[in-house]
Structure 1
């Protein structure tokens, strides 16, 4: 049976996250000091896990979040299919009241099933998931990789979890996320189960400071 364990994380904090600036697939930002601390804490807790492979998006914030594992010698592959959704003309600018209203209306329509509705100048959830599926298929086809670490992005993670767990895309917002949160999933050979949901136990030392 082609069983597999997947550790799926969102990237650590960037200055754009902190300042409320839209990132998306077109903004290649670095982790800030907090994001680097989050990445270090995740590494400290999970460095003993024998990961066979790391998969990330092609964006720096995703790669930097797992760089310590890469430096430890774990092989890595980067895929644009794991990049964040393309937020179109709003990428790289601070969220205005108008942008915020547009976003909430868009998410409402997605939640009602209009998942082929694209962001102005960007992607729809259907388009996002269509580029994710070949990456997931590749990961699942590699039977020798029993334990895998994947690092990606918030909206992309929601669509990816919906894909893995056979949820309709309109329900993707059921999957919460925060910077450097963890979903731990088991693949039985024909379906996924979730062992940990948006887990941030590894970040507890930051709360205690």
Structure 2
């Protein structure tokens, strides 16, 4: 199966503010809309059978731009299993704010994020379980090529999953 993994376009929180977004619903910036349009153009000749997408606005906006370049037969499917990791109490906070209060967490975030446990949030292992469930469903019903529009953390975990690697 041929799969295109696409990260949503830029948001103000990605670049300028460096915040933990997680499952907060943030729209694309103007630059993010431009990036989504470029992604759509780049995939125009791929004749996708389906676009699977996280239910968060930034992914939906990106996926809609990609869908506009596809044939009518391309299905557009919101998939809750592709939602970003839940950062719990960290969501919406700036990286600097978290790491100034907890300097030991910055080293862990940069070198071993899979070991972090986000207070009132989700672990990387839980996201891995979601991805496993998604691909078990996908294998039973889908033909290629498909696109998956989701988040950086989820894409990284998908790549590990597809390569048969664990989170370490």
Normalising by the smaller structure, the TM-score range is: 0.7 to 0.9
Alignment gaps of 5+ in structure 2: none
How large is the Cα RMSD of the aligned pairs? 1.8
Give the TM-score normalised by structure 1. 0.71
Change in Cα spacing, 1:48 to 1:124, as seen in structure 2 (3 Å) is: same
Q: Say yes or no: does 1:85 pair with 2:85.
A: yes
Please show how residues 1-209 of structure 1 align to structure 2 within 5 Å. Answer: 4-18=1-15, 19-25=17-23, 27-71=24-68, 72=70, 73=72, 74-96=74-96, 98-99=98-99, 101=103, 102-110=105-113, 114=115, 117-143=116-142, 145-170=143-168
Higher strand share: 1
Q: Is the 8 A contact 2:90 2:98 kept in 1?
A: no
Q: Secondary structure at the match of 2:92?
A: coil
**Structure 2: how far apart are the matches of 1:109 and 1:56?**
27
Give the deviation of 1:90 after TM superposition.
1.1
Kindly report structure 1 stretches of 4+ aligned residues shifted beyond 6 Å: none
The separation in 2 between residues aligned to 1:42 and 1:106, in whole angstroms, is: 29
Tell me how far 1:16 sits from its aligned partner: 0.9
Return closer, same or farther for 1:141/1:65 CA change in 2, 3 Å cut-off. same
How far apart are residue 23 of structure 1 and its match? Answer: 0.2
TM-score of the two chains, using structure 2 as the length reference: 0.87
